[in-house]
Amino acid sequence: MQDFNYHRPADIAEATRILGEREDAKILAGGMTLIPTLKQRLAAPSDLIDLSRIPALTGMRRDGYELVIGAMTCHADVAASALVREMIPALASLAGQIGDPAVRHRGTIGGSVANSDPAADYPAGVLGLDATVETDRRRIAADDYFTGLFETALEPGEIITAIRFKVPAGAAYQKFRHPASGYAVVGVMVARFGKDVRVAITGAGPNAFRATAMEAALSVSFSPGALAGIALDPSELLTDMHASAEYRAHVASVLAGRAVASIA
């Protein structure tokens, strides 16, 4: 690991100032991806800006019909929160399935969403629950946020401050978990908002995406049977040592059916 300057700002304004002043600074949230990257010398930032001492970035609150979670809130706190379990139980379930206890007590929702790892769980939750990503500059709709492999709509120097989730009538997250890492080989979030249904998939493609054909079928008939014959296009999915694109397409259909069954 190479030398760098370390900063622990007290508020967002100070973090933004430091980030703007340093040519190659990086934001440090939970460090679940950044720290291993530094250890492997795959990145050599001039400065690390640790957000852990900014109180405004941590915690959960109800705002009308939305659940707002601060970007520095760790996965374990989301999973254990009585408020999250009351408003969106599926989100608490998702958080409780991330990695292992060490990861869940250190990793943050903002860090996960900013990183947009193709196998991360939270992107499916953000997209499936029609969330809004709040930054120090603006609000970004989930449908506009995930743009590619480890790529998002965030601009250079932009800092996620919170994620704002819409509360569905019902939702469920189903996951085919990698046995070692805990990452999602495939993860599916199904959420129902009145007659509208959202189906978001992670682990299968370069980034989280919506299964629009499944959504259309479930909007007409919300039952596992409505998904019969609907499958993802393997040509658009990932193949790696863990699963082929065809297998991921099959698993996504199975998990979507299970999620619908658990809601119904």
Percentage of residues of the chain with pLDDT beyond 90: 97
Looking at residue 2, its pLDDT comes to 81
Distance CA(105)–CA(98), nearest Å, equals 10
| CB distance 184 to 120 below 8 Å | yes
Mean pLDDT to the nearest integer, 9-21? 95
Mean pLDDT to the nearest integer, 163-177? 98
Digit-coded pLDDT (tens) for 118-169? 999 999 999 999 999 999 999 999 999 999 999 999 999 999 999 999 999 9
Distance CA(178)–CA(181), nearest Å, equals 6
Residue 174, helix vs strand vs coil: strand
Residue 69: pLDDT over 80: yes
Q: Which residues are 67's β-sheet partners? A: 62, 165
Q: How confident is the model at residue 202 (pLDDT cuts 50, 70, 90)?
A: very high
Contacts of 43 (CB under 8 A, 6+ apart): 26, 34, 37
| DSSP-derived pairing of the beta strands 60-63 and 66-70 | antiparallel
Distance CA(59)–CA(1), nearest Å, equals 32
With tokens 């596992």, the residue in question is 224
| CB distance 202 to 128 below 8 Å | no
| CB distance 22 to 46 below 8 Å | yes
What pTM value is reported for the model? 0.95
Looking at residue 1, its pLDDT comes to 66
| DSSP-derived pairing of the beta strands 184-193 and 196-202 | antiparallel
Residue 264: pLDDT over 90: no
Domains, the chain: 5-50 (3.30.43.10), 58-263 (3.30.465.10)
Looking at residue 257, its pLDDT comes to 98
Poorest-pLDDT segment among 22-31, 88-97, 197-206: 22-31
Looking at residue 262, its pLDDT comes to 97
**Mean per-residue pLDDT of the chain:** 96
**CA dist 75 to 30, 94, 105, 107, Å?**
10, 9, 6, 6
Looking at residue 23, its pLDDT comes to 86
Residue 61: pLDDT over 90: yes
| CB distance 189 to 121 below 8 Å | no
